Structure 1
Amino acid sequence: PETCTVSKNVPMIFEKPVGLVSSCTLYHDKGPEPWLRKTSTDAWLSTGVSEAVVGSDGPLHDQGDIYCIICYESGTLEFYEVPGFKCVFTVDKFASGISHLVDACVRETTHNLQNVKDGDEQVKETVQNIKVMELSMHKWAGQHACPFLFAILTDGTVLCYHAYLYEGHENTRKTDGQFSTDIEVDVGSISTSRLRNLRFVRVFLESLTREESSGGKFSQRITVFKNIGGCQGLFLAGSRPAWFMVCRERLRIHPQ
């Protein structure tokens, strides 16, 4: 009989972990034009045309990229490229439910640091006992579709974020509206593959999606679907289940 050899390789980042992992998920950024690749620091090197890979069965299209998304008990969220497990996106205090997610390598300028420092203690006190128990990221079909990121916390809160591509000046970043802030980028310290132009904006959901955990027991609640009666979205299980329908890049919640 034929033999099969299985090898196990522990990525270097997990040899000396920075903390315990509370939740993780995989995200397939499908080709032929992977969306997250456009937010990379070196995206300008791309010609915008995917090159076909010639195999034994003829030309093969770009199958896209795979990312491992990890959230630690400390509340830090990180995106890792697979299989190299190189960190390309980091967010601190993710469990606090901040309004915008920006890579930690993009730092605010000095005149905004005081406001961040003043809020640190309040945020730390709020999230010290709250952890992310489930993560899910998906991009549904559509001409201008962008990925959604979902997270369920131990207190039953469901966080929802919608990704978008941010293009600004080389050394300064700004966000619009009441969250407007000057952001300074240390270009020399950023890897050429970091998702520096990736942003997420929080989509606030109705309180009906919140469900208190029972006795510390946890079971998967998020199920993504692509075509149920011609609709696409996700189903949120629990004592108060709900259907999340995606229509024109907006979520419509239908309690069951």
Structure 2
Amino acid sequence: MIELKSPAEIERMHVTGRFVAEVLTEVREIADVGVNLLDLEHHVRGMIDRRGAVSCYWDYAPSFGEGPFRNVICLSVNDAVLHGKPHDYVLRDGDVLSADFAVTIDGWAADSARTFVVGTPAEEDLRLIRATEEALEAAIGAARPGNRVGDVSAAIWAVAREHGYPVSTEFGGHGIGRTMHEDVHVSNKGKAGRGLTLRAGLTLALEPWFCRTTDRIVYDEDGWTIRSADGSRTAHSEHTVAITDDGPVVLTRREDERA
């Protein structure tokens, strides 16, 4: 069921979104060569506890995955792109790290992800990351009343094609509000003019993710961590967005993204 949110409810989601942005900003600041992923996990747990937020990931048990997820942030390194379980891994120079984070505050959810390079960046990694960021901004721009879900998907796909990256359709964006995952599904590949008509009050988590040279994915033995099937590097960008009569409002925008 699709629930349209009132302006007051969107503002409550915005409160959550600001905290999500704060956490991802801090993760970016402290993730460095020599830092263990488990240290990042426990740092974020402390931030959640101090804020009185509730993790959307802890005990999450969808149809995919092996048992409940027992972490509060997804940390995916290099060829891992989605649902990476924090584990005993020390970050190395040049690692590509994707951090995906979602919580609720006072019953309202927000979800966001960012990818960055730890230490010395390779230009090809920066190009991949920039492509997902560009695709996300294109998707946000298409998230307007009267457009359709397919317009959002087509905007993401167009950017991927322009940069020469294949697109997997196995996971994509989704509705969000009282819970992390609500209707409607937003594929990262689609045709303009198709699908649900967007209306003011709809809130979506838009999340383009690309693998450099494949559209196929594989799972780790942990049942959660998703990697590119050919071992190529990956990137993932996500924001929670509210559709309003005045245009899209990004509820998880970080200070380092603001003009």
| TM-score bucket (shorter structure) | under 0.3
Instruction: Name which structure has the greater RCO, CA cutoff 8 Å, separation 6+.
Output: 2
Task: Compute the TM-score of the two structures, normalised by the length of structure 1.
Answer: 0.24
Question: In proportion to residue count, which structure has more strand?
Answer: 1
TM-score (norm 2): 0.24
